[in-house]
Each structure stands twice: as structure tokens, then as C-alpha cells.
């Protein structure tokens, strides 16, 4: 059986604080966050107090609502906020869809590993009835139990994050922003300068051309230079 200390330390110890800080920074109330997730304020408050674990689909939707990258809650890396207005009712629909997709994904993973509910229960310490409910009904899986399940199925939890749709696009945009912020200041200025667009388009074209064609281009340019000199 997997023990609780096997849960990544940042997820186990800092998640409630990270969620609280993100909510406060976004200027959202407990009630607003609870409404987006379709749960009571008391249940949501348990996520921030550490009394209960939020599920991954809930964390994805909450991240989107607060303008954060989901990965910022699952790692120690600092992410840049990007705010965007979005309808709470739309987020609730996204959450419902993600829960059912999530359950189907876990069912497929368990089937591929040829592990029964009983065997999975023995590996994780989670009752078989509860595991069945997670798969059959799309019920939210607390992160602490999800870590145990994904380890038993040998499926990295990060791979369960949304890869398509609005939430995935949000995540990709956040990753691009984070990557850009890590570039040296002079490169950031060059990239954002309107005068640099021609050079950037040329760089993209050369990259797409391929190394073999680049060698041919270089040879042709060298011949042209030699002719000019002669």
C-alpha cells in the first residue's frame, strides 16, 4: 500500500495555502469559488483549510477561474497570472464534462494495466466501492487518493490534465507566458519590437527549411559573395 508520505511534498503540504493565496490575489470570495465548482461554501473552505482534498478537474477549473496555471499548484514554480472574464455557469459545465472524461481515462488506464477494483483497492487502501463510484459516476476524486491511484496504475498525474479545449489552451498560454518571462530582457525587447518582425519571420522560415536546405542556401550565398568580390 502507498503511504501518505509518498505524495509529492508540495502538493501535500502547500496546496491549501497556494489555493488561498491565488483566490485572494484574484479578488475572489469563498462563495464565488464554491459556486463555480458547484459545491457549498463550507465544502470549498475545507479545500483551503486542508480538511478535504480538491479533485484534479476541480483544480483545473478553479485555476482557470482564478487566472492561474494548474501546474502552479502542483509544483514550486511561480507562474504569471493572466486574468480573463469567464462565466461561472460555463465553468461548471466544463467541470462536469472534465469529471466524466477523467473517470473514463482512469477506467481505460486500469483496464490497460489489467487491474481489478479489488487489486487496486489493495494497492491504494481505497475501498473498492469508492473506486467503482469514481469510475462509474464521475465523482470528484480527492487529490490525495488520486496520487495513490495514479501511482498504482503507473500513470503520471500530470498526464491527466486537460489536453484539449478551453482549459488546455489556457494552460498552454500560461506556459508560453512563463517561458517568455524567463528570457533575458534584451531578447524580450527584441521579440516585442515591431521592427524585429521581419527577422523573426525569417528565423521561423529558416527553421522550417531544414538543415539540408540551409546548407544549400549557405553555399549559394558564398558563391554569390565570391562572384561579387571577383
Confidence (pLDDT) at 169? 64
Close Cβ partners of 115 (under 8 Å, ≥ 6 residues apart): 123, 152, 153
Walk me through the domains of the chain, giving residue ranges and CATH numbers: 4-170 (1.10.260.40), 186-229 (no CATH)
Calculate the alpha carbon distances from 34 to 25, 51, 59, 142, 211 in Å: 16, 15, 12, 16, 53
Confidence (pLDDT) at 127? 95
CA-to-CA distance for 121 and 100, rounded, in angstroms?
A: 21
122 exposed, middle or buried (CB, 10 Å; 0-12, 13-18, 19+)? middle
Q: Is the pTM of this model over 0.75?
A: no
Confidence (pLDDT) at 166? 56
pLDDT, one tens digit per residue, over 37-67 is 999 999 999 999 989 999 988 998 898 888 8
pLDDT, one tens digit per residue, over 190-217 is 888 888 777 777 777 767 766 666 666 6
Amino acid at each position: 500500500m502507498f503511504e501518505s508520505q509518498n505524495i509529492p511534498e508540495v502538493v501535500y503540504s502547500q496546496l491549501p495555502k497556494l489555493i488561498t493565496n491565488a483566490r485572494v490575489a484574484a479578488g475572489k470570495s469563498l462563495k464565488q469559488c464554491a459556486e463555480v465548482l458547484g459545491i457549498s461554501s463550507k465544502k470549498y473552505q475545507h479545500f483551503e483549510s486542508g480538511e478535504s482534498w480538491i479533485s484534479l478537474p476541480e483544480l483545473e477549473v478553479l485555476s482557470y477561474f482564478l487566472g492561474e496555471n494548474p501546474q502552479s499548484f502542483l509544483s514550486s514554480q511561480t507562474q504569471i497570472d493572466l486574468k480573463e472574464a469567464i462565466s461561472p455557469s460555463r465553468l461548471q459545465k466544463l467541470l462536469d464534462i472534465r469529471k466524466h472524461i477523467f473517470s473514463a481515462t482512469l477506467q481505460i488506464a486500469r483496464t490497460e494495466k489489467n487491474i481489478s477494483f479489488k487489486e487496486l483497492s489493495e494497492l491504494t487502501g481505497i475501498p473498492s466501492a469508492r473506486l467503482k463510484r469514481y469510475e462509474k459516476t464521475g465523482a470528484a476524486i480527492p487529490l490525495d487518493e488520486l496520487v495513490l491511484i495514479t501511482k498504482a496504475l503507473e500513470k503520471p498525474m500530470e498526464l491527466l490534465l486537460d489536453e484539449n479545449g478551453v482549459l488546455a489552451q489556457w494552460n498552454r498560454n500560461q506556459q508560453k507566458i512563463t517561458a517568455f518571462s524567463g528570457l533575458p530582457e534584451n531578447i524580450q525587447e527584441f521579440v516585442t519590437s515591431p521592427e524585429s518582425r521581419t527577422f523573426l519571420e525569417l528565423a521561423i522560415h529558416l527553421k522550417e527549411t531544414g538543415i539540408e536546405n540551409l546548407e544549400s542556401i549557405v553555399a549559394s550565398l558564398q558563391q554569390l559573395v565570391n562572384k561579387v568580390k571577383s
